[in-house]
Amino acid sequence: MPLFVAALRSYRFHFHKRSLDGSSKADAFRTGNGNDVVWGVVFRIEEREKPQLDEAEASGYEQQSVDVTDEEGNAHSALLYVAAASHIDGLLQPYTWYKRFVVEGARQHRLPEPYVAVVEREAAIEDPDRERHARNIAITC
């Protein structure tokens, strides 16, 4: 269940996490620069759902505890999955259908439009697996 929109300071959004499908996936990369920010949505999950989430994020992600700030300026602790250093590849790009999921999700949750525009300008490539592309492009967000 989505709780609120939040800012994660000193991190930058990147499509650089190597995926099993040959593309890149989204990541919040720690820069240490207080001017960098990743916007996102904090969700509440039930304890019984956590093993499923861990399994889905098992390939190349690590868990971190982070502090985020909601739109009213309140601080919260959150759990974040970040790309393991061994799974970062800056030469890869996301597939167009995946990037669309990220951008449309950001708009649905009303993330700041200037931030969404930055994500939208990221380069993407067509998925060479035409069947997978068609399946994912048919999903309405």
CA distance 5 to 39: 7
Given pLDDT bands bounded at 50, 70 and 90, which one contains residue 5? very high
Categorize the per-residue pLDDT at 130 as very low, low, confident or very high, splitting at 50, 70 and 90: very high
Tokens matching residue 1: 């269940």
Q: Which two tokens stand for residue 88?
A: 């970062």
Rounded CA separation 72/78 (Å): 16
Residue 48: strand pairing partners: none
> C-alpha 129: how far from its chain's center?
22
Given this model, what pLDDT does residue 59 score?
83
DSSP H or E run through 97: helix 96-108
Q: How many domains are contained in the chain? A: 1
Burial readout 15-40 (b: 16 or more C-beta within 10 A, e: otherwise): bbbbbeeebbbbbbebeeeeebbbbb
Query: What would the mean pLDDT of 80-100 be, rounded to a whole number?
Result: 97
Percent of the chain clearing pLDDT 70 (strictly above): 100
The C-alpha atoms of residue 126 and residue 47 are separated, in whole angstroms, by 37
Q: Which domain holds residue 81?
A: 2-137
Q: Is the pLDDT reported for residue 123 higher than 80?
A: yes
Residue 133 to residue 128: CA distance in whole angstroms: 8
pTM: 0.92
Residue 13 pLDDT greater than 90, yes or no: yes
CATH value at residue 109: 3.10.490.10
The confidence band for 96, taking pLDDT boundaries of 50, 70 and 90, is very high
pLDDT tens digits for range 19-68 = 999 999 999 999 999 999 999 999 999 999 999 988 888 789 999 999 99
pLDDT for the residue 54: 87
Note the pLDDT of residue 98: 97
61: nearest Cα among 28, 35, 91: 28
